[in-house]
Amino acid sequence: MLHAKIIDLPKEKINLEKAESFISSSKFGASIVFYGTVREDNEEKKVTGITYDSHDELVIKSFKEIYDEADKKLNIKEKSVFIEHVKGYVGLGEISIIIAVACPHRSEAYDLSRYIIEEIKKRSPIWKKEHYINKDSQWLKGNPINVNENN
């Protein structure tokens, strides 16, 4: 079972309760809620916030692919997964991403949670523009998408 969504700030809100509620089931004995927040420094610069941009359709497609791959690559059949990523401006300490997973056993839950965040970092078309205390801002250098892997 998968929930995948882009949260368009400030029209919508991201919250942990929704994630916990989605994955809650007596079928599962292990649940992990991972969330990423905006950190106050990066490469010796004082950060005040991040603007996220997203190609929504491709991002949702990538979330579904990553979820499906967990069957084959990790052999995790029974699972509940909740993924939300924001787009728009996020202030210091605020949440940019939630990945909540529930599986029958803890080893599967840890593996799945880690797998999802690492694959999102590599494959999901999301971009960050950092804003700094001196009012400067810049798009962060990312990793090029591998065209062949996606064809």
User: Which of 7, 98, 115, 123: binder of other proteins (CB under 8 A)?
Assistant: 123
Residue 72 vs 147, nearer CB to other proteins: 147
- One of 97, 100, 101, 103 touching other proteins (CB under 8 A): 97
Per-position DSSP letters for 15-81, written without gaps between them:
-HHHHHHHH--TT-SEEEEEEEE--SEETTEEEEEEEEEE-HHHHHHHHHHHHHHHHHHS---S-EE
Neighbour-count burial of 96, counting CB atoms closer than 10 A to its CB (0-12 exposed, 13-18 middle, 19+ buried): buried
Q: How far apart are the C-alpha atoms of 123 and 105, rounded to whole Å?
A: 27
Supply the minimum distance, in Å, between the C-beta of residue 61 and other proteins.
Answer: 6
Toward other proteins, which CB reaches closer, 109 or 126?
A: 126
Work out whether 125 is an interface residue with other proteins (CB under 8 A): yes
**Would you tell me which residues interact with other proteins (CB under 8 A)?**
36, 52-55, 57-59, 61, 85, 96-97, 117, 120-121, 123-129, 139-145, 147-148, 150-151
